[in-house]
């Protein structure tokens, strides 16, 4: 069984810090690959749909995403297969934005409505250093924008148009939407 990390919460300096690029030497190391496995295991343990390295106090430009159809935090959303992206960069973000609910493992128990671009194009390296480039839409595009923000020290609260939709999960279940 893979190691689990403790997730850093808002207020820990690493959440607002800067993150360095991953090097080819790191990618080739067994320790780096083990850390990626631990990052994925942590995302799954906390029912996350994405997790960025700084959230586990690892100040690197990388994140993982995976939306399982059974995810209890986002049961309405379409699935996204497990992917790990290193040194990601935007190629394109389309002008149109849509509002939808987001939470964050580093801001536990809360969610709020966040405007995000509907379509994005990203380029990155996969966990073995192979270049990848792809487009994503809807909730997948939203998760990518959320995780990309983490690499720049931003959280979804910074992207909300206002705080009026900010809700505890329990109240959201009862009164939300």
Helix locations, 19-137, DSSP H = 24-28, 30-45
Identify which of residues 27 and 43 has a Cβ nearer to Ni ion in the complex.
43
Secondary-structure breakdown of the chain: helix, strand, coil percentages, each rounded to the nearest 5: 30, 35, 35
Q: Per this entry, what is the length of the chain?
A: 177
Binding-site residue total for Ni ion (CB under 5 A)? Answer: 1
In three-state secondary structure terms, 168 is strand
Q: Tokens 């009026």 — which residue?
A: 164
> Which of 16-24, 96-104, 108-116, 120-128 is the region at the interface with Ni ion (rule: CB under 5 A)?
96-104
Partners of 100 in beta bridges? 114
Identify which of residues 35 and 145 has a Cβ nearer to Ni ion in the complex.
145
Interface with Ni ion includes 64 (CB under 5 A)?
A: no
* Least distance in angstroms from the C-beta of 131 to Ni ion: 25
Identify which of residues 6 and 128 has a Cβ nearer to Ni ion in the complex.
6
Two structure tokens written together for 156:
């979804």
- Nearest Cα to Cα of residue 55 among 142, 146, 143, 150: 150
Site map (CB under 5 A) of Ni ion, residues 120-159, x = contact? ----------------------------------------
Interface with Ni ion includes 104 (CB under 5 A)?
A: yes
The answer to whether 173 is a known catalytic residue is no
Sheet bearing 107-117, strands edge to edge? 97-104, 107-117, 167-168
Interface with Ni ion includes 80 (CB under 5 A)?
A: no
* Least distance in angstroms from the C-beta of 103 to Ni ion: 8
Which one of 137, 147, 171, 173 is the catalytic residue? 147
The catalytic site residues sit at 147
Where does this chain bind Ni ion (CB under 5 A)?
A: 104
């Amino acid at each position: 069984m893979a190691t689990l990390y403790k997730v850093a919460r808002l207020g820990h300096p690493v959440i607002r810090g800067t993150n360095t690029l991953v090097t080819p030497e790191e990618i080739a190391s067994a320790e780096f690959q083990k850390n990626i496995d631990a990052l994925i295991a942590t995302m799954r343990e906390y029912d996350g749909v994405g997790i960025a390295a700084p959230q586990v106090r690892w100040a690197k430009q990388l994140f993982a995403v995976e939306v399982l159809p059974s995810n209890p935090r986002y049961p309405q959303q379409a699935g996204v297969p497990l992917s790990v992206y290193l040194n990601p960069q935007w190629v394109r973000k389309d002008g149109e934005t849509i509002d939808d609910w987001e939470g964050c493992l580093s801001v536990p128990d809360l969610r709020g409505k966040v405007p995000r671009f509907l379509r994005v194009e990203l380029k990155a390296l996969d966990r073995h250093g192979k270049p990848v480039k792809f487009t994503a839409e809807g909730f997948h595009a939203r998760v990518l924008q959320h995780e990309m923000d983490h690499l720049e020290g931003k959280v979804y609260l910074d992207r909300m148009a206002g705080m009026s939709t900010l809700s505890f999960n329990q109240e959201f279940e009862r009164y939300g939407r």
